[in-house]
């Protein structure tokens, strides 16, 4: 029996060796795709301005042009999760970047390129490898607290980037040095783009060049190739971005507690009907309008002029709203407190989409029962996040949805007063004309989630 035992042992060892070699081979031979095809721009197209691009010996050369906006050479294909490696060399007087998960949408600022950008920054600031949100939120992950990455950039030489975009996480390296670590879920997919920055009318920057080569991307078996980063992640959910902090925004909800909010008909936060889960403030479904289980919630502070921004997510058939200039003392009876309302609604399934004193005025992001939003509004599908923005400065009010203005009006104008007189609000004296009031999130008996609730108040109007 001894020979049989030896053969069995040898067979097991051999099998393990084969498996290890197979795994190693599989990892090494995963399908990296070259994005630059020889000396052609096949697979790419130009968006934005009029800077020029050419390929010479496998190197993409972008050259500046005068009096034209930012120009981008973008992939025809969109990418979601991926690992990208690319080399670049930039003129020391220029600024550039590499777009990832970026898009052009007819509904968003006339199709302008927008999305995440891995910065190329040869200036003294040295934020190459930082993450900027092009034409949206600006800086998300700077390098001011990462001196190793700042020193890694090589002036007038080829530099190497590695970018990992997997799920809601984006990590970057410059010349093998960790640069950025961002957790943000604003955009899940989009094209890759090589930027030639605008130079305006600066003649001294005319004809300057940015070059890229050895661009390759991996979209399969990413878990085998992902790299750990020693950096502390920058998390944008329920936090202010770098640019928001510098421009005076403040969080209106901390993402964890009920601080700063109370029930509209209570002196404390409702003990049912609302929950906080995974950084989301959720009004639960109770099957009835103006739920008695929880009820509306309002800010504990009042606001005069303000800019309010938040994300909301609808469930099928749901109805809710964001009210502003609310005085909870004006309506002690049943029903929701009175105030101007940014409507939140599933236009496809909820009956209110077909009701209202003015046609379309109860559809999503409309001024409820008064002014309908632009029919071409860029609403995302149900169970996806949308961003609402309300600006009210000196009685001029604007409603925005996902970065697009969908309506505007003047509080107290003749047109406004006429609309009120023809609506359900006609019985309320001076409706919508309060100098200051609370901000309200409505419990209409349907499940709706909120997050990233933030506000900015003009310095002259701070309380």
pLDDT tens by residue, 48-96 = 999 999 999 999 999 999 999 999 999 999 999 999 999 999 999 999 9
Q: Which residues contact 223 (CB under 8 A, 6 or more apart)?
A: none
Within a domain: residue 14? no
Digit-coded pLDDT (tens) for 317-354: 999 999 999 999 876 666 789 999 999 999 999 988 88
What is the pLDDT of the chain when averaged over all its residues?
91
Domain identity same for 96 and 225: yes
3-state helix, strand and coil shares in percent for the chain, rounded to the nearest 5 = 15, 35, 50
Cα 146 to Cα 142, 181, 241, distances in angstroms: 8, 11, 17
pLDDT at 290: 56
- Show the tokens assigned to 252: 């209106």
Domain identity same for 194 and 268: no
Domain identity same for 449 and 336: yes
User: How many folded domains does the chain comprise?
Assistant: 2
Confidence of residue 21 (pLDDT cuts 50, 70, 90): very low
Domain identity same for 198 and 255: no
**Is 342 in contact with 390 (CB distance < 8 Å)?**
yes
pLDDT at 203: 80
Specify burial of residue 176 (Cβ count, 10 A radius: 0-12, 13-18, 19+): exposed
Secondary element (H or E) of residue 246: helix 242-246
Specify burial of residue 140 (Cβ count, 10 A radius: 0-12, 13-18, 19+): buried
pLDDT at 25 over 60: no
- Show the tokens assigned to 98: 């590499």
pLDDT at 336: 83
Q: Which of 213, 235, 257 is the last residue of a domain?
A: 235
CATH number, domain containing residue 305: 2.60.120.560
For the chain, the C-alpha Rg in angstroms (whole number) is: 27
Domain identity same for 186 and 276: no
What pTM does this model have?
A: 0.88
Within a domain: residue 3? no
Secondary element (H or E) of residue 15: helix 2-28
pLDDT at 29: 53
Domain identity same for 195 and 110: yes
Domain identity same for 221 and 266: no
Pairing of strands 177-183, 234-235: parallel
Using CA atoms, how far apart are residues 183 and 256, in angstroms rounded to an integer?
A: 18
Domain identity same for 218 and 150: yes
Concatenated DSSP letters of 276-315 = EETTEEEEPP-SSSS-SSS--EEESS-BSSEEEEEEEEEP
Within a domain: residue 311? yes
Q: Which of 235, 264, 298 is the last residue of a domain?
A: 235
Using CA atoms, how far apart are residues 210 and 95, in angstroms rounded to an integer?
A: 9
Within a domain: residue 164? yes
Using CA atoms, how far apart are residues 260 and 269, in angstroms rounded to an integer?
A: 9
Domain identity same for 249 and 170: no
Beta-carbon count within 10 A of 308 CB: 21
Within a domain: residue 155? yes
pLDDT at 15 over 60: no
Beta bridge partners of 85: 162, 216
Domain identity same for 290 and 248: yes
pLDDT at 352: 87
φ/ψ region of 278 (left if φ > 0, alpha if ψ in -120 to 50, else beta) reads left
**Is 179 in contact with 143 (CB distance < 8 Å)?**
yes
pLDDT at 353: 85
pLDDT at 199 over 90: no
How is residue 371 annotated by DSSP? Answer: B
Digit-coded pLDDT (tens) for 361-401: 999 999 999 999 999 999 999 999 999 999 999 999 999 99
Which has the higher per-residue pLDDT, 236 or 2? 236
Domain identity same for 211 and 353: no
Digit-coded pLDDT (tens) for 237-248: 999 999 999 999
Digit-coded pLDDT (tens) for 429-457: 999 999 999 999 999 999 999 999 999 99
- Show the tokens assigned to 245: 């902090």
Average pLDDT over residues 129-139: 97
Using CA atoms, how far apart are residues 49 and 39, in angstroms rounded to an integer?
A: 22
pLDDT at 26: 42
**Is 368 in contact with 341 (CB distance < 8 Å)?**
yes
Using CA atoms, how far apart are residues 161 and 98, in angstroms rounded to an integer?
A: 10
Using CA atoms, how far apart are residues 272 and 292, in angstroms rounded to an integer?
A: 10
Question: Is 19 in a helix, a strand, or coil?
Answer: helix
Pairing of strands 131-134, 138-141: antiparallel
**Is 119 in contact with 228 (CB distance < 8 Å)?**
no
Using CA atoms, how far apart are residues 411 and 433, in angstroms rounded to an integer?
A: 7
Within a domain: residue 27? no
Within a domain: residue 10? no
Secondary element (H or E) of residue 120: strand 114-120
Q: Which of 203, 235, 267 is the last residue of a domain?
A: 235
Q: Which residues contact 385 (CB under 8 A, 6 or more apart)?
A: 185, 311, 312, 313, 451
Sign of the CA dihedral with 305 first, then 461, 451, and 291 last: negative
pLDDT at 109 over 50: yes
Using CA atoms, how far apart are residues 414 and 64, in angstroms rounded to an integer?
A: 50
Could you tell me the end-to-end alpha-carbon distance of the chain, in angstroms, rounded to an integer?
Answer: 90
Within a domain: residue 18? no
Using CA atoms, how far apart are residues 298 and 428, in angstroms rounded to an integer?
A: 20
Cα 121 to Cα 215, 243, 280, 403, distances in angstroms: 19, 17, 36, 27
Domain identity same for 261 and 229: no
pLDDT at 256 over 90: yes
Residue span of the structural domain in which 263 resides: 242-461
Digit-coded pLDDT (tens) for 296-315: 999 999 999 999 999 999 99
Using CA atoms, how far apart are residues 105 and 111, in angstroms rounded to an integer?
A: 5
**Is 99 in contact with 134 (CB distance < 8 Å)?**
yes
How far is Cα of residue 166 from the mean position of the Cα atoms in its chain?
Answer: 16
């Amino acid at each position: 029996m001894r020979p049989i035992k030896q053969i069995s042992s040898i067979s097991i060892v051999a099998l393990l060796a084969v498996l290890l070699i197979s795994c190693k081979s599989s990892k090494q031979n995963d399908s990296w795709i070259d994005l630059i095809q020889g000396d052609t721009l096949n697979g790419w197209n130009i968006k934005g301005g009029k800077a020029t691009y050419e390929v010479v010996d496998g190197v993409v050369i972008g050259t500046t042009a005068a009096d034209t906006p930012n120009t981008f050479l973008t992939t025809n294909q969109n990418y979601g999760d991926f690992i990208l490696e690319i080399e670049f060399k930039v003129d020391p007087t220029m600024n550039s970047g590499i777009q990832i998960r970026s898009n052009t949408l007819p509904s968003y600022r006339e199709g302008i390129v927008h999305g995440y950008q891995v910065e190329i920054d040869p200036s003294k600031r040295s934020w190459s490898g930082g993450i900027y949100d092009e034409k949206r939120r600006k800086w998300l992950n700077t390098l001011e607290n990462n001196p190793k990455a700042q020193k890694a950039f090589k002036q007038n030489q080829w530099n190497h980037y590695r970018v990992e975009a997997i799920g809601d996480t984006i990590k970057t390296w410059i010349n093998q040095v960790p640069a950025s670590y961002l957790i943000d879920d604003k955009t899940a997919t989009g094209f890759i783009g090589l930027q030639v920055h605008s130079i305006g009318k600066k003649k001294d920057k005319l004809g300057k060049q940015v070059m890229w080569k050895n661009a390759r991307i991996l979209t399969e078996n990413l878990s085998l190739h992902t790299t750990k980063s020693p950096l502390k992640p920058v998390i944008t959910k329920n936090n202010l971005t770098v640019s928001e902090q510098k421009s005076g925004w403040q969080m209106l909800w901390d993402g964890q507690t009920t601080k700063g909010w109370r029930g509209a008909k209570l002196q404390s936060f409702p003990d049912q009907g609302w929950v906080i889960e995974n950084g989301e403030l959720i009004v639960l479904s109770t099957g009835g309008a103006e739920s008695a289980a929880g009820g509306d919630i309002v800010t504990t502070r009042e606001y005069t002029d303000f800019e309010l921004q938040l994300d909301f997510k609808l469930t099928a058939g749901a109805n809710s709203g964001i009210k502003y200039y609310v005085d909870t003392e004006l309506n002690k009876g049943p029903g929701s407190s009175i105030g101007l309302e940014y409507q939140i609604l599933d236009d496809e399934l909820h009956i209110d989409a077909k009701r209202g004193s003015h046609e379309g005025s109860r559809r999503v992001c409309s001024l409820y029962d008064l002014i309908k939003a632009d029919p071409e509004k860029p609403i995302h599908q149900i169970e996806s996040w949308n961003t609402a923005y309300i600006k009210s400065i000196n009685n001029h009010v604007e409603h925005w949805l996902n970065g697009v203005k969908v309506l505007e009006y003047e509080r107290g104008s003749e047109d406004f007063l006429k609309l009120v007189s023809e609506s359900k609000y006609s019985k309320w004296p001076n409706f919508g004309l309060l100098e200051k009031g609370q901000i309200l999130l409505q419990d209409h008996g349907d499940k709706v989630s909120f997050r990233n609730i933030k506000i900015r108040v003009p310095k002259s109007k701070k309380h």
